[in-house]
Amino acid sequence: MNQFALQEIQNKVSGLFSRMAELDSEIRKALGEYSNGKTLKGSEYVGWLGEIYVKYYYDGVLVDDTHEHDVQTATMKISVKTRKGWKSGWRHSSAIPKIRGTASPTHLAFVHLDENFKLDGIWLFEWQELIREKRFEKHMVRKKMRSWIFRLNEKKDALKKVYPFI
C-alpha cells in the first residue's frame, strides 16, 4: 500500500474540490432564480441551462419530473434535450424513454451550448412530425432496445433553428 501516493493525491485535489463545491453552490443559487421553483437535481448544468433557456425563449414554465416534457407554454409541451461542446456526439440527444402515448410532448427543443456553456442554438421540432419522419432512433444496449435518441442534422434541420435564426 502506498500511503504516500494517497496523501499526495489528496493534497493536490482537496483544495480544488473545495473550490468546485463553492462554485457548484453559486451556480445552483444563480440558476435557481430562473427555475420557477423546480428543484434542479444533481449536477446537470447542461440540462438545466437548456430547460431554463427554452422556458424563457417561449415564455413558459418548468414542470416537475412527473411529466414527459420539461417546459409548458399555453400551446406547447416541450421536451428539452441539451448538448454541450463540439465533439462528434453533440448532435445526438440523450435517452428518450418513450415516444408515444397520451402524455407525450408536443414538441422537442434541441439546445446546443458551446464549450463555455454559452447558448449556440435552439431548434424546435413538432413531436408527431419527428415520429412520422422516423427521426427517433432506437438506442440499443447489448442488443436490447433501451430507449430512443434524436439526431440533429444541421443542414436538413436549418429551418427548424429558432435561435439564432440566420
Taking 3-state DSSP, the helix, strand and coil percentages for the chain, each rounded to the nearest 5, stand at 35, 30, 40
Q: Are 135 and 150 in contact (CB under 8 A)?
A: yes
Nearest alpha-carbon partner for 34 in 58, 51, 47:
51
Radius of gyration of the chain (CA): 19
Q: pLDDT digit string (tens) for 10-69?
A: 888 888 989 988 998 898 888 888 888 777 776 688 999 999 999 999 999 999 989 999
State the Cα–Cα distance between residues 138 and 99, nearest whole angstrom: 10
Q: Give the start-to-end residue ranges of the domains of the chain.
A: 34-163
Q: pLDDT digit string (tens) for 77-120?
A: 999 999 999 998 899 999 999 999 999 999 999 999 999 999 99
Q: Are 91 and 111 in contact (CB under 8 A)?
A: no
What CA–CA distances, in Å, run from 102 to 6, 80, 138, 148? Answer: 54, 18, 20, 17
Q: Read off the amino acid at residue 109.
A: A
Looking up cell 444541421 gives 154
* Assigned CATH class of 34-163: alpha beta
